[in-house]
Structure 1
Amino acid sequence: MNIFDFKIKEKFPNESVLKNPEIYGVFSGYNLPSFVKDWLIQRNSTLEGKIDKENLRLFLNKHIAQKNKKTIKGTLINDYVPIKVLARILIEPDIRSGVIKFSIPDLGIGHNEGVIPNYIAEKYPELKGGEIWGVVKLSYNPPDNGKTGFIEIVDYKSFKPYEVDLEYFKQKRREFEVSEWIDLLIRSMEYNPEGFESLQQKILFISRLLIFVEPNLNMFELAPKGTGKSYVFNNLSKYGWVISGGVISRAKLLYDISRKTPGLLTLYDFVAIDEVETIKFTDESELRGALKNYLESGTFSVANYKGESSAGLMVLGNIPLTQERKPVNNRYFVNLHKFFNDPALLDRFHGFIEGWKLPRMREDLILRGYALNVEYFSEILHELRTESQYRNVVQKLVDVPKDADTRDKNAIIKLSTAYLKLLFPHVESPEDIDKSDFKLYCLEQAIKMREIIKTQISYIDPEFSREVPEIRIRE
């Protein structure tokens, strides 16, 4: 361990975990996100960071049956013995039958094979819809009087190993320099900060976390393959959902009229559309209209249903580069689906991440050292979303021209607020932060991200100005 490892372990003794690729090899064959792996590593670790690999393997074999998923249903049917597993559960109420159904894809349990009894749903409200991680006890109900057999959840324990003390986290931030804190964030994203070439590259990398901490933030990132954009959104939080390929409809994103069920944007902190160039859209004009309203205000109307949500939308795509690793075309959206070549829709996205400026995954980017436990880290990011004082601080720190475009102003304020939450979570008033730090790490980054969106819109429609308001630090 180096000096920084010791500092992380000292300041976050119960919330940090040693990242060692050799140790994490025990999870080979298990489709587990990082927040689950870290929890399992920590519960099988000594204070000195040594791992009880044998005990960890026993837990995996007993409670995470992904390797033996073909035998799960057979065991339930033949042995009539309840099975307890830690798993990802997809829950969808069936309006027509009045039954709450579930599936566990990793165990081969389909949507029409799982039922959640009413008494369990009443006891655990999170089992009434959406995606959750938890420890469930499964039991089999055989066919009876012409009714088909089904698997039911007879007990449940939420997977939330941490009760987050946000004030504790804020106080600990005061004990780190800005550069150290940036490195801790990168480590907690499971990357080695020493593998990055510059401070600006590090800031660009942690910009992927903005949508984790700021509600109703909408962003684009285009990057070549191998820069880790999919990994961040798939592995760092159970509060997000990633759509990879397939078909996207208004029903899927916002509200399904036939099933009378809310869409993905109402269930999560953010929804990321990955490999967007491969996505197909149904009823494009209808979806685009509904999405414009949602991205603008966080509300939407479908038929007689009115909904609202604080979820942000992240659009991820690939972009062709020259040998110098610069975009082949200065019109970044030219290769995307025509759905996104609508200036009014793009104008509702707040910022753009130039992912081609980030390094491809290399050996020197693999973390070997201490970082915040991903499960703890994801809970902190989730809690920061509802902290309203940061926006007030930002508004007191800046001067906005009276003739500023409202969307531009809102975008820059939102992005600056998100950077403030990430980098300076201990700040409670304008006096708590050096104005030059706020300008460098928050405001200038936000303005640049918004400028890219405006420039790209102007290429599609020259009537749109590429200028952004000259928002300055208040004297």
Structure 2
Amino acid sequence: MSELDSKINRLFPGVVVRKDLVKAVKGNAIVPTYVLEYLLGQYAASDDEATIQAGIHAVRRILADHYVHRSESELVKSTIRERGRHRIIDRVTATLNDRADVYEAEFANLGVRGVLVEPSTIKAHPKLLVGGVWCICDIEYTHTDSARAVPWILGSIKPIQLSSFDFDGYLAARREFTTDEWIDLLVQSVGFDPALFGRRAKLLQLIRLIPFAERNYNLVELGPKGTGKSHIYSEFSPHGMLISGGEVTVPKLFVNNANGRIGLVGYWDVVAFDEFAGKRKRADKALVDIMKNYMANKSFSRGVETLGAEASMVFVGNTSHTVPYMLKHADLFDELPESYHDAAYLDRLHHYIPGWEVDTIRGEMFSSGYGFVVDYIAEVLRSMRPMDFSDRYQPYFSLSPDISTRDRDGVQKTFSGLMKLLHPHGEASPAEIEELLRLAIEGRKRVKDQILRIDATMATVAFGYTDAAGGWRPVTTLEEDEYPEHYHRRSRPPEPRTEPRPRPSGEPALFEGHRDFAENQRGVSFERILLPYLRGATTITVTDPYIRQFHQARNLMELIEVLVRAKDPADEISVKLVTAEHREDEDRLRRQLELLVKVKQGAAAGGVDLDVSFDNGAHDRSIVTDTGWRIVLGRGLDVFQHVSSDAFDLAHRLQEYRPVRAFGVTYVRERR
């Protein structure tokens, strides 16, 4: 166990579970993650391996004995008949039979319907009426001669969700973690290995949880397929409902005027629309109009009566084009159905998660560490919905006066949700608060900037904030920084930032000074940020203490490839590498030396002589040329995030398609 896992088990005993256990027990049971983790939380919430294995065995036995597979429903029915009473795990939905004036239950996998349900059960568990609930039930069988009588009787029913928890204990334990540790705990609770995610990537994953912690929060995420956009809303919480974008109607979502029954928004904390994108999809205009009003005012009408609800709305869908293509030819909402591609509707959205920044889910991304039992964290988030942290930034920062009330609401609701997730005790440093505020502003800015493309009558907004000293700090979106020529529609595209501007003498004038690159930014390559300063050099000294692992040696080789492609084949270049030995482990040191030998051999084939020297006291990271340039590298050559080894993945082959870590580069002209 890692140090963090030990700390998690010590401070949250009984409510955390090893996240790889779900796969171990699931088998072919088509059951949500929160159901399995509920059972694992009952039997295997421990750090003792013997207890874990015994718990896994118990959960497997419970699933084998009580979970109803559709293919075995007749066998289970026979078991109930022969025994007279049997406990099952199934999804139960209830309806009102208004002719007989009784409530009747339907069991999804068992295939039984018309089972009588006591009104008191419906009153205790109203979600049975809207979408159904996974439950542990005792079913009885009593046959009668009456053809109209249903032989199935519901003996007892227990929804699979936590009955109570200690919120004060949750807050006290949170104080024992650093912010970085807490973020990693939450990422592990979602099911991912935090070691494979950068800081920004982790926060983008956690933004998906805000609708569970924030009332009436409207979130959209559009991006490529396979990034796990809908997983959170179908598997993470018993308080969320995921529906297909084409399967919703006004009565199902809001209210049925015929019988007065309230729809999904009245019973669920989060209503998520899956596969929401698709230009050709048709949408009921009445539904769109009611949705607009609900998203803006938290209310909807039933005849002459106005009703309120607090369900958050989430819209997830796939994009079929790259970001620069959408920015050049349309906008980032281009994939939405025509009825929703409307400025008034889009203006109700509080935040836009850039789904193109989220990696496609791969097997190695899943965590084997400890995280909260899903049902526990779901109840924690639900308990925080009445809280309001939206003003916690105000002692340190103030939003731009240009920001409208609707923009301000979007920023503050996102900020409040992030505070609840990361700092539920309300204690955060100014730097931590600023990080969350910038992320909240960025998401709302992404919405507003695209609306300006759709409706040119809307006024432009200066998105940013001022600090306590009155200094203005603008906020940009990542795609705005990556593709300025497409993001801002102008008569003439701006010049690329890295293109040298000619001096009067005609000599190229390379940029001198410092540049920062944001985490997850793409379009960055050694050819773009380094090659212009290396051209013409015959001796290049690279100082980087961390050329130890495979990906670090690969980065060095890719820098050499850039030099080889740019030089005349008849020329030779000397590259002197100053790095540090991997002294902690002899096997790792041997592997480091093997990697450096391979790089040296590969470089020689292209006319580059690599000379390696070791300086275990070196800390600075820089590149110095014999033409007078010094390039100070904040992270050395290790600027790219982890990418797969798939030879058919462009990110594996081209640096421009890899997301980067946050880093800075300083260009210094030491002599001319």
TM-score, normalised via structure 2 length: 0.64
Question: Which of the residues 430, 439, 456 maps onto 2:450?
Answer: 456
TM-aligned CA deviation for residue 207 of structure 1: 1.1
Partner of 1:329: 326
Partner of 2:663: none
State the alpha-carbon separation in 2 of the partners of residues 127 and 364 from structure 1: 36
Amino acid at match of 2:269: D
Q: Are residue 99 (structure 1) and residue 94 (structure 2) matched? A: no
SS at 2:103 equivalent: strand
Which piece of structure 1 moves more, 239-248 or 69-78? 69-78
Partner of 2:659: none
Partner of 1:261: 261
Amino acid at match of 1:51: Q
Which piece of structure 1 moves more, 26-35 or 416-425? 26-35
State the alpha-carbon separation in 1 of the partners of residues 110 and 400 from structure 2: 57
TM-aligned CA deviation for residue 177 of structure 1: 1.5
Partner of 1:166: 167
| Aligned residues of 2:221 and 2:316 also touching (Cα < 8 A) | yes
- Pair 461,96 (structure 1): closer, same or farther in 2 beyond 3 Å: farther
Which piece of structure 1 moves more, 443-452 or 144-153? 144-153
TM-aligned CA deviation for residue 372 of structure 1: 1.3
Question: Which of the residues 46, 57, 61 maps onto 1:58?
Answer: 61
SS at 2:315 equivalent: strand
The structure whose residues are more often helix, as a share, is 1
Which piece of structure 1 moves more, 450-459 or 41-50? 41-50
- Pair 13,302 (structure 1): closer, same or farther in 2 beyond 3 Å: same
TM-aligned CA deviation for residue 135 of structure 1: 1.8
Partner of 2:366: 366
SS at 1:433 equivalent: coil
Deviations 1:216-257 (A, max 9, x none): 000100011111112111111000000125432111110112
Q: CA RMSD in A?
A: 2.6
Partner of 2:398: 399
TM-aligned CA deviation for residue 378 of structure 1: 1.1
Deviations 1:405-448 (A, max 9, x none): 11011111111101111111111xxxx321221011x2101100
State the alpha-carbon separation in 2 of the partners of residues 127 and 334 from structure 1: 35
Q: How does 1:37-76 map to 2 (within 5 A)?
A: 37-45=36-44, 47-49=47-49, 50-52=52-54, 53-66=56-69, 69-71=72-74, 74-75=77-78
Q: Are residue 83 (structure 1) and residue 86 (structure 2) matched? A: yes
Partner of 1:129: 129
The higher radius of gyration belongs to 2
Q: How does 1:303-452 map to 2 (within 5 A)?
A: 303-322=303-322, 326=323, 328-330=325-327, 331-388=331-388, 390-394=389-393, 397-400=396-399, 404-427=403-426, 432-440=427-435, 442-452=436-446
State the alpha-carbon separation in 1 of the partners of residues 466 and 163 from structure 2: 40
Amino acid at match of 2:119: N
SS at 1:229 equivalent: coil
TM-aligned CA deviation for residue 68 of structure 1: 5.1
State the alpha-carbon separation in 2 of the partners of residues 280 and 51 from structure 1: 50
Amino acid at match of 2:326: N
- Pair 69,327 (structure 1): closer, same or farther in 2 beyond 3 Å: farther
Amino acid at match of 1:434: S
Amino acid at match of 1:244: S
State the alpha-carbon separation in 2 of the partners of residues 280 and 126 from structure 1: 36
Q: Are residue 217 (structure 1) and residue 217 (structure 2) matched? A: yes
Give percent identity, aligned residues only: 26
TM-aligned CA deviation for residue 319 of structure 1: 0.7
SS at 2:339 equivalent: helix
SS at 1:307 equivalent: strand
TM-aligned CA deviation for residue 283 of structure 1: 6.9
- Pair 95,308 (structure 1): closer, same or farther in 2 beyond 3 Å: farther
Amino acid at match of 1:11: L
| Aligned residues of 1:94 and 1:100 also touching (Cα < 8 A) | yes
TM-aligned CA deviation for residue 182 of structure 1: 1.1
State the alpha-carbon separation in 2 of the partners of residues 43 and 279 from structure 1: 46
TM-aligned CA deviation for residue 101 of structure 1: 2.4
Amino acid at match of 2:325: V
Partner of 2:459: 465
SS at 1:133 equivalent: strand
| Aligned residues of 2:282 and 2:339 also touching (Cα < 8 A) | no
TM-aligned CA deviation for residue 398 of structure 1: 4.2
State the alpha-carbon separation in 2 of the partners of residues 159 and 2 from structure 1: 30
| Aligned residues of 1:120 and 1:154 also touching (Cα < 8 A) | no
State the alpha-carbon separation in 1 of the partners of residues 107 and 115 from structure 2: 8
Deviations 1:451-470 (A, max 9, x none): 01001111211112342554
Q: Which has the higher contact order (CA 8 A, sep 6+)?
A: 1
Partner of 1:293: 293
- In structure 2, the gaps of 5 or more residues are 470-672
State the alpha-carbon separation in 1 of the partners of residues 345 and 240 from structure 2: 22
| Aligned residues of 2:391 and 2:412 also touching (Cα < 8 A) | no
Partner of 1:30: 29
TM-aligned CA deviation for residue 167 of structure 1: 1.5
Amino acid at match of 1:420: M
